[in-house]
Amino acid sequence: MKKFILLLLKFSTALVGVVTFLVIISALIGRSLFPFQIQEDKNILILGNSHPECAINDNEIDGVINLAQSGTAYFYDYLKLREFVNKNHHIDTVILGYTYSDLKKEMDEWVTGEDKLKFKIRDYFILFNSKDYFALAFSNPVGVITNTPQTIFYNLNAGIKGLPHMGGFKYLERNKLKEAKERLKKQNTNETPFKISNYQGKYLKKIYAFCKERNITLILLSTPLHPMEVEYQKEMLQSYNNFASKNLPEALLINHSNFQLPESYYADLDHLNHKGARLYTQYLKTNYFDR
């Protein structure tokens, strides 16, 4: 028995040592291979989750790069922002997705929940420093530890895949509006009182502070939502405005949630499909970027 326990201890030590070594080495290789450098003529960086990811086609607007990705919490946006701005001093404007629901308490799950953690830790691991890692580990120790070994392959993959690994415009063909409406009708509108997410609030403030420190214009953008969704989320509107005016006073808040679009331009209640994206991108181009 003693021999067995000793063997297990030795093996566990070797396992932790080898895995840690491989994780670090692969992260370093992934980082060194990753093309962080953005073209000089692109000075506007778009970050956020699936809302800006599906709404703004950066191929149609000069000077813009969209690195938003579905399921991304502000924690990861902060890591992305820090890395890309530090490596691209020509970025002077950041457009960050900021819709009503981005601040709600349930969004904490996007940082601590196993479902998102599994994918996001491996996608963004090359952006982590030790402080970020321990901050995340503190939020969900078991989830972070068990999901760390998978980063070995994904760190290397990030280096090979390049920018699309971190996000980019998503061309959505689907139109699942009908199903989404049915689902929403079944939901209770007053389920829980609105509370602000700890992690979303904290990292949104960090993003704001980071941009301010570097004289970067921060634009908080709510991309178009379906009118039914706007109605459903109207309770959150006040908190949404209050949070921005109180904590992010110098950020420019653009609320396009009421932007009028035909029904066939939505992928669902929160997202635009490719037709909606084309129209909305044109609108942004004409009314904001070309000016």
Partner 1 sequence: MLFNSLDFAIFLPLVFVSYWFVTGRNLKLQNLLIVIASYIFYGWWDWRFLSLILFSTIVDYSVGLGLAKEKNALKRKILLITSLCVNLGFLGFFKYYNFFLDNFITAFSFFGREIQGNTLNIILPVGISFYTFQTLSYTIDVYKKKLVPTKDFIAFSAFVSFFPQLVAGPIERATHLLPQFYKKRVFDYRKAVDGLRQILWGLFKKVVIADNCAQYANIIFESHTDYSGSTLVLGALFFAFQIYGDFSGYSDIAIGTSRLFGFDLMKNFAFPYFSRDIAEFWRRWHISLSTWFRDYLYIPLGGSRGGTWMKVRNTFIIFIVSGFWHGANWTFIIWGALNAVYFLPLLLLKKNRANTDVVANGKFLPSIKDFLNIASTFGLTLLAWIFFRAETVQGALDYIGGIFSKTLFDKPEVLPYKLMPFILLLILVEWVQRENSHALEMEVDKPILSRPTRWAMYIGLIVLIFSFGGSQQEFIYFQF
Give residues in contact with partner 1 (CB under 8 A): 1, 3-4, 7, 11, 14-15, 18-19, 22, 142, 146-150, 152-154
Q: Name the minimum Å distance from CB 14 to partner 1.
A: 6
Q: Which residues contact 40 (CB under 8 A, 6 or more apart)?
A: 90
Q: Name the minimum Å distance from CB 125 to partner 1.
A: 12
> Three-class SS of residue 96?
strand
Spatial contact of 110 and 136, defined as CB atoms under 8 Å apart? no
Q: DSSP labels for 39-64? A: PTT--EEEE-SHHHHHH--GGGSTTE
Q: Name the minimum Å distance from CB 149 to partner 1.
A: 4
Q: Name the minimum Å distance from CB 205 to partner 1.
A: 33
> Three-class SS of residue 217?
strand
How distant is the alpha carbon of residue 246 from its chain centre?
22
In the bound state with partner 1, the residue whose beta carbon lies nearer, of 99 and 148, is 148
In the bound state with partner 1, the residue whose beta carbon lies nearer, of 114 and 231, is 114
> Three-class SS of residue 220?
strand
The length of the chain in residues reads: 291
Can you tell me the distance from the alpha carbon of 142 to that of 117, in angstroms, rounded to the nearest whole number? Answer: 11
Can you tell me the distance from the alpha carbon of 52 to that of 57, in angstroms, rounded to the nearest whole number? Answer: 9
In the bound state with partner 1, the residue whose beta carbon lies nearer, of 156 and 216, is 156
Q: Name the minimum Å distance from CB 4 to partner 1.
A: 5
Q: What are 21's two structure tokens?
A: 């070594």
How distant is the alpha carbon of residue 115 from its chain centre?
15
Can you tell me the distance from the alpha carbon of 140 to that of 250, in angstroms, rounded to the nearest whole number? Answer: 33
In the bound state with partner 1, the residue whose beta carbon lies nearer, of 57 and 155, is 155
In the bound state with partner 1, the residue whose beta carbon lies nearer, of 121 and 272, is 121
Q: Name the minimum Å distance from CB 115 to partner 1.
A: 9
In the bound state with partner 1, the residue whose beta carbon lies nearer, of 10 and 195, is 10
